Amino acid sequence: MQTTRKSQFVPMSGSEAIAKAVVQSNVDFASAYPITPQTIIVERLSDLVASGQTKTAFVNVESEHSALSACVGASLAGGRVFTATSSQGLALMHEVLYLTSGLRCPIVMAVANRALSAPISIHGDHSDMMGSRDSGWIQLYVENAQEGYDWCIQAYKIAEDERVALPFTVNMDGYVITHSVEPIALIDDVAVSDFVPPRQAKFKVDVKNPITFGTLTLPDYYMEFKKQQDDAMRHVPEVFEEVTRSFAEVSGRHYSSVVPFELDDAKVAIV
């Protein structure tokens, strides 16, 4: 991340920064289930919903499996959708992860990365998301709370692009980022709203124009769908560059897919 603009900073934890980004991003629907160390994200989001600071509909459910299932329904109805989870909760969602990407739902999910049991651990580890590596989601791992805030906003712009239409995870190290407080350079509400205006879904559940989602396919057409998912994922680097350039104009912070370090006179680079 390169910063080119002076900003006013607000002290926030990584979890609070994510909740703030969700509220600013015109999110229509959120559903989640508490699990350490993710819980604060949705607690803060529910506080903002309850105090009337956002029109986001927040739905309480009985499990992470139900949370992501509800999110899929809201996304297919044309809404912009957010959820969050961690560790065993992500594992419980596993079935629905494939459903989400296969139905091309551009849901953004914050993952507070935490170790999987056993032995039980509530601390940071990427094994939860590595277990979901091949489920068809875009994955991005942030270095600090500022990046978490910035990427929660940019994620919608990438996920909802017609060339992509895939779900996106913003991954934050449990406790190290989710619970640590740092100065966050917030963007003006109007500027964020202009950057990610309300979602206009090309295909959605509509009684006046009925279409089928998740239809049964035989092996020949199943692979046609999977090929389309693969093609969409291959568009991500291109869209990534476009979105990060436009985000830099709004925020003064520019993200690159490759960040060089001490390469001016180098003969060999390690990636």
Q: How many Cβ atoms sit within 10 Å of the Cβ of residue 139?
A: 16
Residue 268 located in a structural domain: no
Decide: helix, strand or coil at residue 11: strand
- Reported as a single tens digit per residue, the pLDDT across 94-133 is 999 999 999 999 999 999 999 999 999 999 999 999 999 9
For residue 259, the model assigns a pLDDT of 85
Question: Which class for 112: exposed (0-12), middle (13-18), buried (19 or more C-beta within 10 A)?
Answer: buried
Which of 73-76's residues contact partners 24+ apart within 8 Å by CB, and which partners?
Answer: 74/28, 74/29, 74/31, 75/29, 75/100, 75/103, 75/105, 75/106, 75/107, 76/103, 76/105, 76/204, 76/205, 76/213
In a domain, 265, yes or no: no
Q: Which residue range forms the structural domain that includes residue 168?
A: 2-254
Q: What percent of the chain has pLDDT over 70?
A: 99
Q: Kind and range of the H or E element at 173?
A: strand 168-173
The reply to whether 192 falls in a domain is yes
| CATH code where residue 188 lies | 3.40.50.970
pLDDT surpasses 80 at 5: no
Q: Is 51 inside a domain boundary?
A: yes
Instruction: Classify residue 269: in a domain, yes or no.
Output: no
Pairing of the two strands 9-13 and 181-185: antiparallel
Average pLDDT over the chain reads 96
- pTM to 2 decimals? 0.95
Please report, rounded to a whole number, the percentage of residues in the chain having pLDDT higher than 90: 95
Handedness of CA 73, 196, 49, 145 (dihedral sign): positive
For 81-90, write each residue's pLDDT tens digit. Answer: 999 999 999 9
Q: How far is CA 95 from CA 46, 114, 141, 220, 224, in A?
A: 26, 19, 22, 22, 21
Residue 70 has pLDDT above 90, yes or no: yes
- In tens, the pLDDT along 153-210 reads 999 999 999 999 999 999 999 999 999 999 999 999 999 999 999 999 999 999 999 9
In a domain, 56, yes or no: yes
202 within some domain: yes
Residue 126 lies in a domain: yes
pLDDT tens across 257-271, in order? 888 899 999 999 998
pLDDT at 3: 73
Domains identified in the chain, total number: 1
Q: What is the reported pLDDT for 6?
A: 59
Question: How does strand 168-173 pair with strand 181-185?
Answer: unpaired
Handedness of CA 11, 44, 56, 242 (dihedral sign): positive
What does each C-alpha distance from 152 to 148, 185, 196, 205, 263 come to in angstroms?
6, 14, 11, 25, 30
